[in-house]
């Protein structure tokens, strides 16, 4: 993900599923902890932001463990994209659209 706008831009440089587990009350719900690194370039100065995002997906019978991992990472990516858009909008700058390369949950 690369969102570009002046005076600040953000680049998603790292995203990985750290852990996942079955929700204790909701059947078929899987919860995960995703680590994300955003690089912010503000007026030529770079800053790294390390985030941990809690993510979730509903497991379907045909889903493999890799499908579940991708769904959790995809949801976390969507959450981060919304945060980035809000940050950029709060600066009075319209955020560029974030391309979505993942399949729907």
Which residue is associated with the tokens 């493999």?
A: 64
pLDDT value of position 78: 95
CB atoms within 10 A of CB 53: 20
**pLDDT, tens only, 32-43:** 999 999 998 888
| Residue 15 region by backbone torsions, left for phi larger than 0, else alpha for psi between -120 and 50, else beta | beta
Average pLDDT over residues 60-72: 96
Question: How far is Cα 50 from Cα 56, in angstroms, rounded to an integer?
Answer: 20
Sorting pLDDT into bands at 50, 70 and 90, what band is 91? Answer: low
């Amino acid at each position: 993900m690369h969102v570009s706008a002046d005076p600040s831009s953000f680049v998603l440089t790292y995203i990985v599923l750290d852990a996942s587990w079955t929700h204790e009350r909701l059947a078929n719900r899987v919860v995960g902890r995703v680590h994300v690194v955003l690089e912010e370039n503000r007026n030529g100065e770079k800053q790294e932001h390390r985030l941990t995002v809690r993510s979730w997906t509903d497991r379907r019978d045909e889903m493999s463990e890799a499908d579940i991992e991708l769904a959790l990472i995809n949801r976390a990516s969507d959450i981060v994209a919304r945060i980035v858009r809000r940050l950029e909008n709060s600066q009075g700058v319209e955020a560029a659209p974030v391309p979505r390369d993942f399949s729907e949950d």
